[in-house]
């Protein structure tokens, strides 16, 4: 028997023989095992005990493995779930991956393959823990402003270097498979998932570097209307697809401001995409600009009719990595705040659950 490991594996299957064989295999490799014959018992174990990884059959009476996956992630979205499936159920397994399953194993499988899948899930859990520690470190750095900023920049650059190269190789290999080997439809689906997720990792790395490293702005006199018009053209198709009515209002003859167009577009795009994410089934987004003569500021407001933000979360939305979205990185608003403050501006958010959100940005007019 191998050295005892600390991870607890939950196995769910209505076949007693399968339960016994997988339990024995994982026990031999030093894992603690909890075995259940149905989804109800499995959820009871998860709610009362520490469970690190779940292995479940797809085909089970009453509650299927996919339904169990959704119940588990409703309770704790960070538990990796590995599905055990027959070859004929591969389409169902692929659908489960899209719903958040960590991996799937097709029958018949070798003991070595099953153990390897468990080991990869354990490694995934370790990365999640490291990410949490890193999030806490970044949040502390925001609260303490610039203290240890150089250390974070070095750390972010190091992480980016260590991740970007292998991720780039993974994407290149997947693209090569498309061009060279003429994959069938099922393999093409897998390759598209690989490419899509490598692109997401690269976006997270880019945002992380932008957050950790101060922006180098190239300021010049310019029009806020030009920035807003560019963004409206950019998101017009997405709004139409989501059935979101996009409304743009602007006062005439707005004063110019000192701005970096590229950075402001990036900040405002994050605000617009957040609004659209809050209206998946349609709604209304109004972007209004006017000049506040008393304050000598250009005011830009983004008002959506989306799901809104709870009072508890409104105080945390600018923290790096804070997100309520399943696939969000939690960096968009942090970057937007950083860019707006770089322009000597202010941002204010008012929101009510189920009614929508208003984001107001104030930027000083150009003083020539």
The confidence band for 155, taking pLDDT boundaries of 50, 70 and 90, is low
Residue 194 lies inside a defined structural domain of this protein: yes
Buried b (16+ CB within 10 A) or exposed e, 117-132: bbeebbeebeeeeeee
Kindly tell me the burial class for residue 32, based on how many C-beta atoms sit within 10 Å of its own C-beta (0-12, 13-18, 19 or more). Answer: middle
Residue 286 lies inside a defined structural domain of this protein: yes
> Residues 360, 225: one domain?
yes
Give the residue numbers spanning the domain of 19: 8-121
Buried b (16+ CB within 10 A) or exposed e, 179-192: eeeeeeeeeebebe
> Between 226 and 211, where is the model more confident?
226
d(CA 178, CA 183): 6
> Between 209 and 58, where is the model more confident?
58
Q: What is the pLDDT of residues 61-80, one digit of tens each?
A: 889 888 999 999 899 888 99
> Between 178 and 27, where is the model more confident?
27
Residue 22 lies inside a defined structural domain of this protein: yes
The pTM score is 0.48
Q: If you average pLDDT over each of 20-24, 101-105, 167-171, 309-313, which comes out highest?
A: 20-24
Q: What is the pLDDT of residues 112-153, one digit of tens each?
A: 989 988 998 888 888 777 777 777 776 665 555 545 545 555
- Give the closest residue to 296 by CA, choosing from 365, 196, 213, 228: 365
> Residues 178, 224: one domain?
no
Longest Cα separation, the chain: 81
Q: Which residues are paired to 364 by β-bridges? A: 297
Q: Residue 229 belongs to a domain with what CATH number?
A: 3.30.565.10
Q: Quick one: pLDDT at residue 323?
A: 65
> ω into residue 35 within 30 of 0, thus cis?
no
**Domain-ending residue, one of 193, 212, 231:** 212
Whether 11 has a pLDDT exceeding 70, the answer reads yes
Average pLDDT (21-39) is 92
> Residues 224, 355: one domain?
yes
Which range is least confidently modeled, 71-80, 89-98, 285-294?
A: 89-98
> Residues 359, 262: one domain?
yes
Number of domains in the chain: 3
Under a CB-based contact definition with an 8 Å cutoff, are residues 50 and 136 in contact?
no
> Residues 181, 99: one domain?
no
Q: Quick one: pLDDT at residue 52?
A: 92
Read off the DSSP letter of residue 256: P
d(CA 74, CA 82): 16
Average pLDDT (268-297) is 93
Average pLDDT (184-199) is 81
Mean of per-residue pLDDT scores for the chain: 83
> Residues 300, 253: one domain?
yes
Q: List CB contacts of 368: < 8 A, sequence separation 6 or more.
A: 221
Q: What is the pLDDT of residues 224-274, one digit of tens each?
A: 999 999 999 999 999 999 999 999 999 888 999 999 998 899 899 989 998
Q: What is the pLDDT of residues 332-367, one digit of tens each?
A: 787 888 889 889 999 999 999 888 999 999 999 987
């Amino acid at each position: 028997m191998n050295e005892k490991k600390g991870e607890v594996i939950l196995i769910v299957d209505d076949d007693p023989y399968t339960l016994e064989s997988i339990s024995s295999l994982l026990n031999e490799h030093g894992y603690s095992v909890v075995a259940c014959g149905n989804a109800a018992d499995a959820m009871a174990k998860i709610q009362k005990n520490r469970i690190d990884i779940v292995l479940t059959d797809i085909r089970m009476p009453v509650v299927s493995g996919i339904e169990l996956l959704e119940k588990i992630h409703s309770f704790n979205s960070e538990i990796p779930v590995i599905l055990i499936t027959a070859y004929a159920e591969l389409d169902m397994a692929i659908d489960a991956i899209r719903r958040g399953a960590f991996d799937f194993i097709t029958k018949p499988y070798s003991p070595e393959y099953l153990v390897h899948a468990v080991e990869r899930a354990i490694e995934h859990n370790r990365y999640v823990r490291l990410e949490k520690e890193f999030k806490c470190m970044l949040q502390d750095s925001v609260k303490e402003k610039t203290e240890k900023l150089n250390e974070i920049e070095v750390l972010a650059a190091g992480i980016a270097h260590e991740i970007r190269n292998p991720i780039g190789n993974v994407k290149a290999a997947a693209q090569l498979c498309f061009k060279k080997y003429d994959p069938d439809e099922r393999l093409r689906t897998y390759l598209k998932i690989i490419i899509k997720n490598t692109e997401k990792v690269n976006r997270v790395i880019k945002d992380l570097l932008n957050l950790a490293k101060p922006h180098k702005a190239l300021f010049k006199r310019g029009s806020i209307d030009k920035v807003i018009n560019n963004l409206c053209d950019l998101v017009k198709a997405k709004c139409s697809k989501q059935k979101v009515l996009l409304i743009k209002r602007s006062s005439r003859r707005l004063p110019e401001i000192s701005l970096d167009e590229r950075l402001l577009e990036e900040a405002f795009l994050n605000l617009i995409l957040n609004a659209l994410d809050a209206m998946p089934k349609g709604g209304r987004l109004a972007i209004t600009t006017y000049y506040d003569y008393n304050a000598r500021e250009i005011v830009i407001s983004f008002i959506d009719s989306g799901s809104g933000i709870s009072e508890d979360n409104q105080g945390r939305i600018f923290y790096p990595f804070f997100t309520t979205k399943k696939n969000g990185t939690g960096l968009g608003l942090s970057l937007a705040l950083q860019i707006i403050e770089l322009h000597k501006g202010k941002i204010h958010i008012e929101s009510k659950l189920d009614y929508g959100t208003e984001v107001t940005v104030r930027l000083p007019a150009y003083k020539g």
